[in-house]
Amino acid sequence: MAVSVHADVDPQALTDLSAVLQRLQDETGKSAAHSVNYAALKIAESGRKESKISKKNRDIVVNPNWSRRAQVPRWAVKQRKEGKGIPAEMESSLSDKSNSSPYFIEFRRQQKESVMMPAWAKKDPRREIRPVKQGGTRGLAKTIWSVMVGKLGAMLNGGSSRAWGEKYRILKKTERFGSDPAFVVHMFNKLTYLNEAYPGLVTTIITSGTKSLNNRLNDRIAKATARANKGK
The pLDDT of residue 140 is 84
Q: 183 Cβ partners below 8 Å, 6+ apart?
A: 31, 32, 33, 36, 37, 172, 173, 174
Q: How many domains does the chain have?
A: 2
Q: In this prediction, what percent of the chain has a pLDDT beyond 90?
A: 3
Looking at per-residue pLDDT, the higher value among 182 and 195 belongs to 182
- 173/71 same-domain check: no
Confidence band for 149, pLDDT divided at 50, 70 and 90? very high
79 and 48 within one domain: no
What is residue 62's three-state secondary structure? strand
Per residue in 29-86, pLDDT tens? 888 888 888 888 888 898 888 887 778 888 898 887 765 555 656 676 677 677 777 7
Residue 5 lies in a domain: no
Residue 2: pLDDT band with limits 50, 70, 90: very low
The mean per-residue pLDDT over the stretch 149-170 comes to 86
Q: Mean pLDDT lowest for which of 51-65, 150-164, 181-195, 207-221? A: 181-195
* Closest alpha carbon to 185 in 18, 39, 15, 28: 39
Percent of the chain whose pLDDT exceeds 70: 75
pLDDT at position 150, please? 92
Edge-first strand listing for the sheet containing 168-177: 162-165, 168-177, 180-189
Residues 220 and 147 in one domain: yes
Residue 40, pLDDT score: 87
Together in a domain, 155 and 223: yes
